[in-house]
Amino acid sequence: SHDGSLLATASDDKCVPLVRIADGSRVGALPVPGGVPVTAVAWSPTALTLAYVCDETGAAVPDKWAVRV
């Protein structure tokens, strides 16, 4: 996270796990729309905003969640 308190990781578990750096405890997980594996994550340096990239090959990802570059 922007303040170094949380770690987000890419995962094949179809979610983005969040871990508290101070004690290593898992504090939650963000579900991924479409249930596809997450391949990369990046925190905003100025706020609690998290971006993630998914491998949507062959998946039915709702267009309202998809941002294609």
What is the full per-residue pLDDT of the chain (69 aa) written as tens digits? Answer: 888 999 999 888 888 999 999 999 999 998 887 778 888 899 888 887 888 888 766 555 555 555 554
pLDDT, residue 7, reads 93
pLDDT of 63: 54
Query: In this predicted structure, what is the pLDDT of residue 69?
Result: 43
The whole-number pLDDT of residue 34 equals 76
According to the 3-state scheme, what is the secondary structure of the chain? CCCCCEEECCCCCCEEEEEECCCCCEEEEEECCCCCCEEEEEECCCCCCEEEEECCCCCCCCCCCCCCC
